[in-house]
Amino acid sequence: MFIASVIVVTQREPKENMTLEKLRKEETLAMREKLIGQSCRLFYSDDPVKIVKARGQYLFDENGKRFLDCISNVHHVGHCHPSITKAAAAQMDLLNTNARFLHDNIVMYAERLAATLPEKLCVFYFVNSGSEANDLALRLAQQYTQHEDVIVLDHAYHGHLMSLIDISPYKFRKLAGQKEWVHVAPLPDTYRGIYREDHPNPGEAYADTVKDLIEEVHRKGRKISAFFAESLPSVGGQIILPQGYSTNVAEYVRSAGGVFVADEVQTGFGRVGSHFWAFQLQGEGFCPDIVTMGKPMGNGHPLACVATTVEIAGAFTANRVEYFNTFGGNPVSCAIGLAVLDVIEKEDLRGNATRVGAHLKDLLSQLQTRHQIIGDVRGVGLFVGLELVTDREQKTPATEAAALVVKRLKEDDNICVSTDGPWENVVKFKPPMCFTMEDAELAVKSIDRILIDMEASDI
């Protein structure tokens, strides 16, 4: 009996693993190092994680260990949501041709997206990634304005394509450097930027830096095509733009003949809870000229989009050159996009983001009263940042401590978070939108314990 039971167990385990894991982890890692460009980095590079399964806000490794996922903003409605898989499979079985043929999905999807946006953003271009969307946005802006220059925010990242590295200080500073047509405005960071919480009107003051920059550009005899910014700068450190900033910037940029591009690739689709788009946090009076969207749009499926006005789209058409994107707007991508919108609504994920995000921020703010290392807690909905500093006066970034928190959250408690910001000292939360109150409590409790430990050992 004893022997038989052992046999049963040994038989069962490899069999279960067989379906989910085809190679041993060390083999996967060795093949990865050999076959995949090393510029494609792994999380936890010292001890990478192999994930074989996921559901909702949970990831499972090859041994069945469960991780709480606080960072997969792409898997917006939850990993492997059955409604999305069902919609994708049904459409894949029926038709997946290109957008040169008429199809209902693309127009129905565009109509649904239009309903989430201000009325003037009513023309859509479907593409495969946030990077493709931002590249097209740049083309649209330059074609419409017939100007070349672009203003971006410091530390911004807009994608991996050549054109986007050019407008991403986060990348171009490490690579080819700043092009003469790109101009960098200060990041409107009211925690550690040039104007802070104590300023009477930081939104206006930061907008004035853009106004000054435009004047500088004009003095050089150059002209602005676009102000290009994430509605909530992410890589920049989970920054919340101060009120009034975008409205004022839009006014200055439009006066200069340029357009306002809101990059919503990371922030759209209800992540901020109170609104469907993060730019809407700037008030009803503000409307961008171009909005780009991506990551959460297809819940992992490569799907992205540019929305713009009739005038800008018209200028793009006027050059009489076709824009053809092979996979963009195909029936399967659009079926998935529609299913994602349905789930956001049916499961009230915006409401959940509002409630759970507020709770998470509250709990983190409570931690801040007990841990000197927590310099700032900021966020809206399920877009939350916890900025660590070695001293609150100087706001010296606690980069190493942040890395240690990330590492220990994973090792001690199977919780995945990561860092952002120019000094990688902002612990970020951008979980799937089904993240619960209990998940928030668990994560904060773990951080508390880790910070107590770190304080005790004086790290």
Using CB under 8 A as the binding rule, the residues of this chain from 5 to 24 that contact a second copy are 20-23
Select the residue interacting with a second copy from 2, 35, 369, 458 (CB under 8 A). Answer: 35
Tell me the closest approach of the beta carbon of residue 394 to a second copy, in angstroms: 28
- Helical segments of 158-309, H only: 162-166, 169-172, 202-219, 245-255
Residue 15 or 219 having the CB closest to a second copy: 15
Tell which phi-psi region holds residue 414, choosing left (phi > 0), alpha (psi between -120 and 50) or beta. left
Asked whether 54 and 79 are in contact (CB, 8 A), the reply is yes
**Up-side HSE of residue 87: CA atoms within 13 Å toward CB?**
22
Q: Which one of 7-15, 132-140, 383-391, 392-400 is the stretch in contact with a second copy (CB under 8 A)?
A: 132-140
User: Residue 237 CB: number of other CB atoms within 10 A?
Assistant: 26
Tell me the closest approach of the beta carbon of residue 25 to a second copy, in angstroms: 7
- Spatial distance between the Cα atoms of 250 and 245, rounded to a whole number of angstroms: 9
Residue 305 or 360 having the CB closest to a second copy: 305
Tell me the closest approach of the beta carbon of residue 412 to a second copy, in angstroms: 19
- Report residue 97 CA to chain centroid gap: 29
Q: Does 118 bind a second copy (CB under 8 A)?
A: no
Q: Does 48 bind a second copy (CB under 8 A)?
A: yes
Tell me the closest approach of the beta carbon of residue 27 to a second copy, in angstroms: 8
By CB under 8 A, the residues from 362 to 391 that bind a second copy are none
Q: Which one of 106-114, 210-218, 358-366, 441-449 is the stretch in contact with a second copy (CB under 8 A)?
A: 106-114
The secondary structure of residue 223, as a DSSP letter, is -
Asked whether 297 and 269 are in contact (CB, 8 A), the reply is yes
Residue 6 or 310 having the CB closest to a second copy: 310
Select the residue interacting with a second copy from 124, 260, 383, 429 (CB under 8 A). Answer: 124
Q: Does 85 bind a second copy (CB under 8 A)?
A: yes
Select the residue interacting with a second copy from 65, 66, 174, 220 (CB under 8 A). Answer: 174
By CB under 8 A, the residues from 313 to 342 that bind a second copy are 313-314, 316-317, 319-330, 332-333
Tell me the closest approach of the beta carbon of residue 264 to a second copy, in angstroms: 14
Strands (E), 271-420: 290-293, 304-308, 374-380, 383-388, 415-416, 418-420
- Among 29, 179, 3, 72, CA closest to 415: 72
Q: Does 115 bind a second copy (CB under 8 A)?
A: no
Q: Does 92 bind a second copy (CB under 8 A)?
A: yes
Residue 27 or 453 having the CB closest to a second copy: 27
- Spatial distance between the Cα atoms of 97 and 206, rounded to a whole number of angstroms: 47
Question: Mapping DSSP to helix (H, G, I), strand (E, B) and coil, where does residue 376 land?
Answer: strand
Q: Which one of 50-58, 225-233, 280-288, 379-387 is the stretch in contact with a second copy (CB under 8 A)?
A: 50-58
Select the residue interacting with a second copy from 108, 404, 442, 454 (CB under 8 A). Answer: 108
Q: Does 132 bind a second copy (CB under 8 A)?
A: yes
Tell me the closest approach of the beta carbon of residue 149 to a second copy, in angstroms: 15
Q: Which residues make Cβ contacts (< 8 Å) with residue 46, sequence separation at least 6?
A: none
Q: Does 446 bind a second copy (CB under 8 A)?
A: no
Question: Mapping DSSP to helix (H, G, I), strand (E, B) and coil, where does residue 41 land?
Answer: coil
Q: Is 205 exposed, middle or buried (0-12, 13-18, 19+ CB in 10 A)?
A: buried
Select the residue interacting with a second copy from 34, 180, 200, 456 (CB under 8 A). Answer: 34
**Beta bridge mates, 290:** 261, 308
Tell me the closest approach of the beta carbon of residue 349 to a second copy, in angstroms: 18
Select the residue interacting with a second copy from 6, 175, 437, 459 (CB under 8 A). Answer: 175
Select the residue interacting with a second copy from 70, 88, 184, 443 (CB under 8 A). Answer: 88
**Up-side HSE of residue 228: CA atoms within 13 Å toward CB?**
36
Tell me the closest approach of the beta carbon of residue 457 to a second copy, in angstroms: 29
**Up-side HSE of residue 67: CA atoms within 13 Å toward CB?**
29
- Spatial distance between the Cα atoms of 73 and 27, rounded to a whole number of angstroms: 29
By CB under 8 A, the residues from 422 to 441 that bind a second copy are none
- Spatial distance between the Cα atoms of 247 and 255, rounded to a whole number of angstroms: 12
Q: Does 155 bind a second copy (CB under 8 A)?
A: no
- Spatial distance between the Cα atoms of 434 and 205, rounded to a whole number of angstroms: 37
Which positions from 282 to 311 touch a second copy by CB under 8 A, shown as an x/- string?
A: ------------xx---xxxxx----x---
Residue 262 or 290 having the CB closest to a second copy: 290
Tell me the closest approach of the beta carbon of residue 160 to a second copy, in angstroms: 6
Q: Does 98 bind a second copy (CB under 8 A)?
A: yes
- Among 280, 214, 195, CA closest to 252: 214
Residue 121 or 364 having the CB closest to a second copy: 121
